[in-house]
Amino acid sequence: MSAAEWVPEGGDVDTLRRAATDCRGCELWEPATQVVFSAGNPAAPLMLVGEQPGDSEDRRGIPFVGPAGQLLQRALAEAGVGVADVYVTNAVKHFRFTERGSRRIHATPQINHLKACRPWLEAELQTVRPRLVVCLGASAAKSLLGSSFRLTAERGQVMERETPVGPLRLLATLHPSAVLRTPAGPEHDEAFGGLVADLRTAARAVAG
Ligand code: SF4
């Protein structure tokens, strides 16, 4: 399983986005409504990589427009990161879910989905050439850093790593949906504050 045969050589983000509509690199395309590629500034210094689109994103075809995306926008604003400073995408471009009655419940993508979809992420990295990649959650970090990556151990640190697309500067933090899941009150405030602090670290790293 791999998206490689659908990824065009060269071309800009719009070319990649158009090509991804035909991708059959794994089975996730079939039950999903549509591919959800990326949004934001293709010349941005920061690339934010999430896990996969959610229910709202799948319906609208735009990443980070659901509740987790709205929380991310608030965290970015609080960290002083402007819209023009970010390009947002996901490690997996189709929504993986299970059906429960009329509801579609998020299902974490497996390692084989991350691997299958990685050619798109690699093409985006080569096209956007961000100064820093922020991995939102463990799935995005594992896609770029391998399955042994542990978010709890290395969260919030600016790392320089060799990857299949060459050396990258990366920082891993919580996925905004993990912050959303924390109960309202001090635990939630701490999780949100941690996400904001990590985004501030990322912003400082590209400004310096
Ligand atoms: S999830 Fe990725 S590899 Fe799988 S079909 Fe969608 S775009 Fe292709």
Q: Which two tokens stand for residue 108?
A: 């974490």
Host domain of residue 124: 4-207
Tell me the mean pLDDT in the region 52-70. 96
Looking at per-residue pLDDT, the higher value among 164 and 88 belongs to 88
**pLDDT tens for residues 93-128?**
999 999 999 899 999 999 999 999 999 999 999 999
Q: Ligand 1, residues 17, 21, 24: which to mutate, most atoms within 8 A of Cβ? A: 24
Using a pLDDT cut of 70, give the percent of the chain over it: 100
How many domains does one find in the chain? 1
Q: How far is the CA of 57 from the centre of ligand 1 (A)?
A: 15
Structure tokens at 97: 């879910």
CA of 70 to the centre of ligand 1 (A): 24
Tokens for 98, please give them: 């299970």
Predicted pLDDT at 65: 96
Closest residue by Cα to atom 2, ligand 1, is 117
Q: Is pLDDT of 164 > 90?
A: no
Please tell me the total number of residues recorded for the chain in this structure. Answer: 208
Over the range 11-22, which residues count as b (16 or more CB within 10 Å of their CB) and which as e?
Answer: eebeebbebbee
Task: Pick the residue whose CA is nearest to atom 7 on ligand 1.
Answer: 93
**Residue 204 C-alpha to ligand 1 middle, in angstroms?**
33
* Position 91 pLDDT exceeds 80: yes
The CATH number of residue 98's host domain is 3.40.470.10
Token match 């941690």: residue? Answer: 194
- Which residue is listed with tokens 């990443």? 63
Inter-residue contact 105 to 98 (CB < 8 Å): yes
Q: What's the confidence (pLDDT) of residue 108? A: 95
Q: How far is CA 197 from the centre of its chain?
A: 18
- Calpha distance 140→91 (Å, rounded): 5
3-state SS string over the chain?
CCCHHHCCCCCCHHHHHHHHCCCCCCHHHCCCCCCCCEEECCCCCEEEEECCCCHHHHHHCCCCCCHHHHHHHHHHHHCCCCHHHEEEEECCCCCCEEEECCEEEECCCCHHHHHHHHHHHHHHHHHHCCCEEEEECHHHHHHHHCCCCCHHHHCCCCEEEEECCEEEEEEEECCHHHHHHCCCCHHHHHHHHHHHHHHHHHHHHHHC
What is the mean predicted confidence (pLDDT) over 119-140? Answer: 97
Share of the chain above pLDDT 90, in %: 93
Average pLDDT of every residue of the chain:
96
What integer pLDDT is reported at residue 137 of this predicted model? 96
pLDDT value of position 17: 97
* Paired tokens of 94: 């189709």
Query: Whole-angstrom Cα distance, residue 191 to residue 184?
Result: 10
Task: Kindly report the number of other CB atoms within 10 A of residue 107's CB atom.
Answer: 13
pLDDT of residue 163: 86
